[in-house]
Structure 1
Amino acid sequence: MATDSGVDRVILQQLADRERAAFVERHPRSAAAYSRADHLFGRVPMTWMNKTAAGFPVYLKTARGNRLTDIDGNEFVDFCLGDTGAMAGHSPAPVVTAVTRRLGELGGATTMLPTEDAAVVGAELAARFGLPFWSFALTATDANRWAIRLLRAVTGRPKILVNSYCYHGSVDESLIVVGPDGHGRSREGNVGAPVDVTETSRVAEFNDLAGLERELAHGDVAAVLMEPALTNIGIVLPEPGYLAGVRELTRKYGTYLINDETHTFSAGPGGATRFWGLQPDVLTIGKAIGGGVPVGAYGLSAELADALTGRGDLDLVDMGGVGGTLAGNPVSMAATRATLEEVLTEGAFATMISTATAFADGIQKLITAHGLPWSVSRLGARVEYRFADPAPRNGTESAAGADAELEDFLHVYLANRGVLLTPFHNMALMCPETTLDDVARHHEIFDAALTELTRS
């Protein structure tokens, strides 16, 4: 009764039922809090918090470094880290100090006035990623939206090209996938699309240069918006020569290139852009750079910035569609400066990546020892185990290789023993405070889960 994931479904179901029952016993206060939340849509602050392996979410009490406690008193080693938002760790001391000073001693959460912190952050981002001019948002989603508007304006072209099963937040243009016929179609579950996504977007598979060129040859693509490695569908790494080929093709067809580094920032202090020597025209990023405080940013090449500022017909100051009242606020800028200068430093990344390497190596040894047809992918400080071997090479393969029942079992099994993974997939992220002992704790539990799964 084994599936492609290599596990017996009867055993899997029995274990999953047992673990969900144990989860309910361990979290009575979280269950009660969830049942009382009658005035929240979906009973949670945001509906994606219902992505849980056990029927209701754990409710947070405290968070420091890579440790969480819930309202039932359970402690967790946190490898989720806010799905990258807390890659600096929870409430890192320099960020707490900076934000406390800004709100308390100096005052001013939002003023519509610049602070000197913003210029320092812009210079730091320019040094890390190689793009000289920066602007700020509250989320990477907004940074992507605003970058798209700018590039449509400067090119006069209507369409944006993305990779199938990419992730760029809730950007409308990104919710397109390659269908069975090889053509673009709306991604399943797309909520309230303003128009058919094929009117605004084109799509190509990751690692497919021929497919990319075929779409760019239409001559109507303003920009390719892509992650240098897919992440939210599971880590899909670029094949040799692929990213250089993307850059060559975008230049050939007069199309701008946007690198979304929101998740691929895990590759190092300058993200995948520095790590792989990339040359985007625009770079977007969010989440981790604020140390947990909401922030997004986009960087522009000098050529693009000149082209935009020379356009007197574009309203870049008032109601032209780019900007938000809270963007670049004093608290976000203070937090981002502290995160970049004092937390997510070169030294911190070296430690995080070393720890992630140990995590990946250990997982691969366990998968091999248990004879499972799985694989491991790593991007800097981020590791993912996949229920396929070899690992998928594009988003469509990655989506097809998902096993929701197996994933949920592993998540609840780990949670019942004090380890949290990112709820959307089997991703583990290291922060500066993650230790090799934390890695060993995960591996001990993971090994026990695989032992039970593979019993004859």
Structure 2
Amino acid sequence: MPEDLSPIAGASPARIARLAAGAEAAYRAARPQTLARLAQPNDFLGGVPMHWMKDWPQPFPMLVARATEATIEDIDGNLLDDFCLGDTGSMYGHSPAPVAAAIRAQADRGLTYMLPTSAALDCAALLSERFGPMRWQIATTATDANRFALRVARAVTGRPKVAVFDGCYHGTVDEAMIALDATGRTVARPGLVGQTADLTLTGTALPWNDLAALDAALATGEIAAVLTEPVMTNSCMVLPAPGFLEGVRDLCTRHGALLILDETHTQSSGWGGYARGHGLGPDMLVVGKCIAGGLPTAVWGMTEATADRFAAYDATRPSGHSGMGTTLSANPMQFACLRATLAEVATPAAHARMETGAARLAEGLTAAIRRHGAPWHVARVGARVEFICHPTPLRDGAEARLAHHPALEAAVHAALVARGCLIAPFHNMMLVSPVTTAAQIDRLTAAFDAVLADLFGAQE
């Protein structure tokens, strides 16, 4: 069969291959110590402590020596402007000074003791001030927080199913590991490891931006909750159509289902997150990743009305395991970092700086795309920016899948790393932190412009 030489999102396969090869050669040449260290045997499965650490587009993992503010340095001394920021985990910059100080202070007072602290009580008020009045609980990851929130939703509604949107991201929650196939049928996501349970018994997948489909699903009376991000963020960024989220809120109310908003990524929208900024009024809210400045922490809250419903359910529940909570969650180190982040790091002024920097980045990337005539576009939600290898904004998860071009995106990512800029490995996401400088943003836009010149410029 002849090789397919048709363009990929406007770029020729030959140019993509040359870009990737050049980036790989540069990466290898710049990291002799890394190569030597990785050549030594270790007992991690696949050689790394988490399997997705091998999913970056580089030929071998980068070994980080240190990270400060919005810069990463590897063990070979290479410095990179960091726009990945731990895929949102370090959205406010690496080791913010108030968080580092809180860690040092709490380390002398104990790491975990399964009892609350005064700082814990402070955090509840700070969370409600930030995101709106809620009754809060603490988890270690947003996956856990989503899982626990779904238990509460099923408990108070007495219904079995959860509705999510095709292409969504909610960590590794089983109910969200579903998708729509070509016929519009809910199926387990391809690639799941060791999956035996029928996920369609507990979850229904729906197309994003389709209120009629949501209405029909909720009309069955089976749906306990709609779990959604305010913006689709992990399948190429897909924004809500005007009125869509307000429609989701109205339909949930009409059909008696809870609305759970997962703001783990969209807290980049601004101080208070997307839901508060747009007046969406969820019944439950989940926020994770950078909420405690990078220390593993997530929060989940419910309105007072939902909390009252759960209290009535809980009063009749037999004693025993609830299926919610883990031993090391809500530990004093989490609260020390959470309080420092909410009170001193993730301030309105910090978010204003992020917004200004992200606007600068989006404008620079868009200008480069137009200059080179690439059939791409840029999407932005607050401090979160993404270039998408498709000419127009996307409507749903199906369109997002068609706009995803792994070989092309991997080549662009690798070429940016070769030019000293790190972006997220799983999609084309870039974050601007409060400590990201204008010079760093300009270096990224210049590197992106150079990459597009290699892909779309005149032939030599």
TM-score range, shorter chain: over 0.9
Segments of 5+ residues of structure 2 without an aligned counterpart are none
Q: Which moved more, 1:268-277 or 1:73-82?
A: 268-277
For residues 431 and 355 of structure 2, the distance between their equivalents in structure 1, rounded to whole angstroms, comes to: 10
CA contact (8 A) 2:8 2:408 kept: no
For residues 317 and 80 of structure 2, the distance between their equivalents in structure 1, rounded to whole angstroms, comes to: 50
Note the C-alpha offset of 1:31. 2.5
Q: Could you say what secondary structure the match of 1:310 adopts? A: helix
Note the C-alpha offset of 1:2. 4.5
RMSD, aligned α-carbons: 1.2
Q: Residues 348, 222 of structure 1: CA spacing in aligned structure 2 closer, same or farther, 3 A cutoff? A: same
Work out which of the residue numbers 111, 115, 118 in structure 2 matches 1:116.
Answer: 118
Q: Could you say what secondary structure the match of 1:355 adopts? A: helix
Counterpart of 2:358 in structure 1 is: 356
Counterpart of 1:341 in structure 2 is: 343
CA contact (8 A) 1:172 1:193 kept: no
* 1:78 maps to amino acid: D
Counterpart of 2:437 in structure 1 is: 435
For residues 172 and 262 of structure 2, the distance between their equivalents in structure 1, rounded to whole angstroms, comes to: 13
Work out which of the residue numbers 382, 395, 398 in structure 2 matches 1:396.
Answer: 398
1:50 aligns with 2:66: no
For residues 36 and 162 of structure 1, the distance between their equivalents in structure 2, rounded to whole angstroms, comes to: 44
CA contact (8 A) 1:131 1:282 kept: no
Work out which of the residue numbers 59, 65, 75 in structure 2 matches 1:61.
Answer: 65
* 2:451 maps to amino acid: A
For residues 26 and 307 of structure 2, the distance between their equivalents in structure 1, rounded to whole angstroms, comes to: 56
Q: Which moved more, 1:289-298 or 1:393-402?
A: 393-402
Alignment of 1:222-233 (within 5 A): 222-233=224-235
Note the C-alpha offset of 1:394. 1.1
Q: Could you say what secondary structure the match of 2:426 adopts? A: coil
Counterpart of 2:267 in structure 1 is: 265
Q: Which moved more, 1:148-157 or 1:76-85?
A: 148-157
CA contact (8 A) 1:35 1:43 kept: no
TM-superposition CA deviations, 1:38-77 (whole Å, max 9, x none): 3101211111111111221111101110011001110011
* 1:79 maps to amino acid: F
Q: Could you say what secondary structure the match of 1:423 adopts? A: coil
Counterpart of 2:156 in structure 1 is: 154
1:11 aligns with 2:15: yes
Note the C-alpha offset of 1:346. 0.3
CA contact (8 A) 1:314 1:320 kept: no
Note the C-alpha offset of 1:12. 1.1
Counterpart of 1:314 in structure 2 is: 317
Counterpart of 2:281 in structure 1 is: 279
* 1:304 maps to amino acid: T
TM-superposition CA deviations, 1:304-354 (whole Å, max 9, x none): 111111222336x85110111111100011001101110110000001011
TM-superposition CA deviations, 1:98-137 (whole Å, max 9, x none): 1110112xx1100001011112111111122223210000
Note the C-alpha offset of 1:232. 1.2
Work out which of the residue numbers 375, 383, 386 in structure 1 matches 2:385.
Answer: 383
Note the C-alpha offset of 1:7. 0.4
Counterpart of 2:329 in structure 1 is: 327
Counterpart of 1:98 in structure 2 is: 102
Counterpart of 1:201 in structure 2 is: 203
Q: Could you say what secondary structure the match of 1:14 adopts? A: helix
Counterpart of 1:177 in structure 2 is: 179
For residues 407 and 143 of structure 2, the distance between their equivalents in structure 1, rounded to whole angstroms, comes to: 29
CA contact (8 A) 1:203 1:215 kept: no
Q: Which moved more, 1:404-413 or 1:28-37?
A: 28-37
For residues 127 and 212 of structure 1, the distance between their equivalents in structure 2, rounded to whole angstroms, comes to: 32
CA contact (8 A) 1:49 1:57 kept: yes
CA contact (8 A) 1:234 1:386 kept: yes
Counterpart of 2:80 in structure 1 is: 76
For residues 382 and 143 of structure 1, the distance between their equivalents in structure 2, rounded to whole angstroms, comes to: 22
Note the C-alpha offset of 1:4. 4.7
For residues 32 and 234 of structure 1, the distance between their equivalents in structure 2, rounded to whole angstroms, comes to: 36
Q: Could you say what secondary structure the match of 1:63 adopts? A: strand
Give the TM-score of the pair, scaled to structure 2. 0.96
Q: Could you say what secondary structure the match of 2:271 adopts? A: coil
For residues 227 and 418 of structure 2, the distance between their equivalents in structure 1, rounded to whole angstroms, comes to: 39
Q: Report how many residues are paired.
A: 453
Note the C-alpha offset of 1:233. 1.2
Note the C-alpha offset of 1:22. 1.6
Note the C-alpha offset of 1:194. 4.3
For residues 124 and 206 of structure 1, the distance between their equivalents in structure 2, rounded to whole angstroms, comes to: 32
Note the C-alpha offset of 1:454. 1.2
Counterpart of 1:419 in structure 2 is: 421
For residues 350 and 373 of structure 1, the distance between their equivalents in structure 2, rounded to whole angstroms, comes to: 31
